[in-house]
A and B are shown apart, each in its own frame.
Chain A
């Protein structure tokens, strides 16, 4: 009889310990759950190039009016006013981490989501890359970088250079696409105004078929 009483006491003791510990965890103030990316993983992601989109890919997305594609201009508001890509949102690099009164990042809705593909760009690649690193550190996903920035955009999409006659078929295909894109974006001058949303949209095919004059082989 006394044996069972001891066992019963033991069970009650264990019950109190378990429930007490679990209650303690509920009551204890929440540890700030750090959602940030580990430095090792960040380094690994910096070293692989999957974050980059070429200017051609960006141009193709804009022309096709991909609904789930969004451009983020990380330059200053003045630069943005002077020229920006069609449909781009301006979030300057230095205001990336701005917070509202309750301490939440004001840009989190745009930059931390899983519906759109955000493509960051600046004049070169450096500022967009810096913005990307900060966003990855915050563990925000679906953000990419336009490689070469607006400088490469001008070189490739706005003023494409005709490849030499000896170039491969592929290069001519790219050139044809860029030529067409250049027309679409109103190329020719560097001071290109941002195309309006209601501008007439010429029909452009990415790969022009058939035997056009540029044919290289």
Chain B
């Protein structure tokens, strides 16, 4: 089975469009086009974001490792993002700040704009302005942006762990997170019901 998407191939863009629409549909079905739901994770009344993403992560991880085991997929041929320490930390902080101020992350804002939410359209506008500013001043922080490249590190490799053992621990941790967030959510909603 070849790659579904090849950069530079016209049909690759069509595949990307189909995958993108499917992604948007799933985001919308999960209720991710509501900024109240998204911001709920920060206030403790709704953890659906964490639950959906953790489920997606463990499903994908288990699927990939099984596919690799059966020889259907060559995991070593898959591109792994490079870990730029400084820009990851700063970028993550900016992203989190934007998330809590705007109530969306980039993907969900497109989703919400598509169903006609005005705040999401404004968010998308700000997002585009941000991209233009980033591009205009790029030479200023290019050095920082590209510094400390640790390469395609994987957590289990840097811990010196077996991939399968790490995956098991990750799955158990995810399930614990589901349970813990359910408890917190219950407590927070009980508290807010009191008043």
Contacts and interface: CB of A to CB of B under 8 A. Distances in A.
Contact of B175 (A15, A21, A26, A31): A15
Is the interface on chain A under 10, 10 to 19, 20 to 34, or 35 or more residues? 10 to 19
A18 B63 CA distance: 11
A23 B168 contact: yes
A28 B168 CA distance: 13
Give the one of A11, A15, A25 with max B CB within 10 A: A25
A115 interface: no
Contacts of A31: 68-69
B171 A18 contact: yes
Contacts of A23: 168
Contact of A19 (B68, B69, B162, B172): B172
Contacts of B100: none
Interface in A3-46: 11, 15, 18-19, 21-23, 25-26, 28, 31
B69 A28 contact: yes
A22 B171 contact: yes
Contacts of B164: 22, 25-26, 28
A19 B175 contact: yes
A21 B164 CA distance: 10
Contacts of A21: 62, 66, 171
Contacts of B178: 11
A25 B65 contact: yes
Contacts of A11: 178
Given A25-B65, A28-B69, A19 B165 contact: no
Nearest to A31: B69
B58 interface: yes
Nearest to B162: A26
A23 B165 CA distance: 8
A127 to B, nearest CB: 30
B167 interface: yes
B69 A25 contact: yes
23 contacts: A11-B178, A15-B175, A18-B58, A18-B174, A18-B175, A19-B168, A19-B171, A19-B175, A21-B66, A22-B58, A22-B167, A22-B171, A23-B168, A25-B65, A25-B164, A25-B167, A25-B168, A26-B162, A26-B164, A26-B165, A26-B168, A28-B164, A31-B69
Given A19-B168, A22-B170, 16 more contacts: A11-B178, A15-B175, A18-B58, A18-B62, A18-B171, A18-B174, A18-B175, A21-B66, A22-B171, A25-B65, A25-B66, A25-B69, A25-B164, A26-B165, A26-B168, A31-B68
